[in-house]
A and B are shown apart, each in its own frame.
Chain A
């Protein structure tokens, strides 16, 4: 970090958020303009181009933006909760419930609408179970939470392997593709529902950002500065898990967004969560819009799983950043 960094102000946040929002808007326009066929937001508006643009491409681009925002926000708040920069949205086990639910629904043939619903239900069931287990003497124990999540994910992984080993070849292919993550073209209603639910869960998280800063002193230090630590921890776990569940149930397991985006922004903007979380929401949206664009166009008219793209782009970019900045903040 530059040693001249000043404490963040509301104005500084406004400037950064406006810049990031402009970048996001640019990414959305770009992604909506490119792809199979020649539909463009500008130029000749014939009926088929209009249909491709408004009913297929734009909803998908906007869903990518929403999901990127959800995953990046969840990663940011889980990193704050666990005081660990390696946390991602999937680390606390809720994604395991979502993917197991999704796989089961897929194989039962509940249809394109049913899969996300069952997947979300699986995530909520996992959320409740994990919170129960990690609550010791009325307190949410963060270490137990992490262990429970890790073990639950391993268990689910084994369960999914078991399923994969007994299903048919076609079913196996469908399951693998589902788990790799793919952003569908949603109906406008489904898009609005996901966006609204995500916004509702995100607003209380934004309200806790100053408390996250104080929590970096540890739970006891934060309590001595007047933070209601138990409430912050529980709300963060529940709301971050809901964001994760929304994302995984809509698109499968898209990795790296929730890990890399918060990390990059923390390095660029400093660790203050009041700046970080809004920036991570906008940055995550941009990242996934561009990654999904790449997934659509690289081998067009075929498609790559977007989760593969996020890892292929995010991994090297992240490592380059680590090397360039030196390792002094590697632990922070």
Chain B
């Protein structure tokens, strides 16, 4: 059970205010989607939440404990982060990469125990990647690699999962498979905060959405309430066709070309 809570968070890069008075919460078992245009502060939120950007103002708490007060290894046992892309400096096998997720659980010089290897293999299996175990990570396709990275996050056995556009380089099938797994994890009680660019994935998988614009929260609520034409238009500053999907009962958003948008505008 984990609860992630940000209240009145501010963060500045040298000359730019990236987050300003930002508040949001992720409860146990919930998938919260963080949406917003490029440069709205989504990745900064991930940096602040994951403890890599410590110079924030306000409060960022995991289980009522300030993120910067967590010892790094303890935090890594409670929270796993899946980035958009990982560059691998060494030709580790996929299994060895997943075993890196056991690092915060190991003491001293230790080699992984049989139990650690079993946890890693189970994580790979859960991601449908057990057949990749012996493969060289640098030889895998982007989709395979992201499955391995996701398995690495599972091997950390976290209670909170933070995803930073993890599906950006994946095809539609791998996107669905990845978020199916995210959904399962949330259903088992893990709290999930995910940054996404794909509005339809957000509508399909997220319990709640937070829209960011210029480092501030524009809207925060259940997906059905936030995912509206007016809100998305205000957030992204472009016209989007929003409708209810007949088969899924979820909202969908379809982009419109500039030409179409110009044709529509006079009739507003």
Residues of chain A at the chain B interface (Cβ within 8 Å): 1, 3-5, 7-10, 13, 83, 206-207, 209-211, 213-218, 220-221, 223-228, 270-272, 274, 328-329, 331-332
Contact = CB atoms under 8 A, between A and B. Distances in A.
A10 B116 CA distance: 14
Contact of A223 (B72, B74, B110): B72
A322 to B, nearest CB: 14
Given A3-B135, A206-B109, A214 B100 contact: yes
Given A3-B136, A7-B112, A213-B100, A224 B93 contact: no
B100 A225 contact: yes
Given A224-B50, A227-B103, A218 B89 contact: yes
B109 A209 contact: yes
30 contacts: A1-B93, A1-B136, A7-B99, A7-B111, A7-B112, A8-B111, A9-B111, A206-B109, A207-B109, A214-B100, A216-B92, A217-B87, A217-B88, A218-B86, A224-B79, A224-B81, A226-B75, A226-B103, A226-B104, A227-B72, A271-B90, A271-B92, A272-B92, A272-B96, A274-B111, A328-B139, A331-B138, A332-B88, A332-B90, A332-B138
Given A271-B90, A271-B92, A214 B103 contact: yes
Give the most central of B52, B80, B138: most A CB within 10 Å: B52
Interface string B186-226: 00000000000000000000000000000000000000000
Given A210-B110, A214-B100, A271-B92, A223 B51 contact: yes
B95 A7 contact: yes
A71 to B, nearest CB: 21
Nearest to B74: A226
A271 B91 contact: yes
B134 interface: yes
Contacts of B139: 328
B83 A221 contact: yes
Nearest to A13: B111
B89 A221 contact: no
Contacts of A216: 88-90, 92
A279 B73 CA distance: 28
B129 interface: no
Interface of B: 50-52, 71-77, 79-81, 83, 86-93, 95-96, 99-101, 103-104, 106, 108-112, 117, 134-136, 138-139, 156
Contacts of A328: 136, 138-139
Given A1-B93, A7-B117, A218 B87 contact: yes
B83 A210 contact: no
B115 to A, nearest CB: 13
Contacts of A223: 51-52, 72
A7 B101 contact: no
Nearest to B71: A226
Contacts of B104: 225-226
Nearest to B96: A7
Contacts of B95: 7
Contact of B156 (A7, A225, A332): A225
B51 A224 contact: yes
A50 B101 CA distance: 56
A8 B91 CA distance: 14
A95 B91 CA distance: 29
Contacts of B83: 220-221
Contact of B91 (A13, A211, A226, A329): A329
B88 to A, nearest CB: 6
B111 A10 contact: yes
A214 B112 CA distance: 13
A16 to B, nearest CB: 13
Contacts of A271: 90-92
Contacts of B99: 7
A226 B73 contact: yes
A203 to B, nearest CB: 11
Given A221-B83, A271-B91, A274-B109, A226 B100 contact: no
Nearest to A221: B86
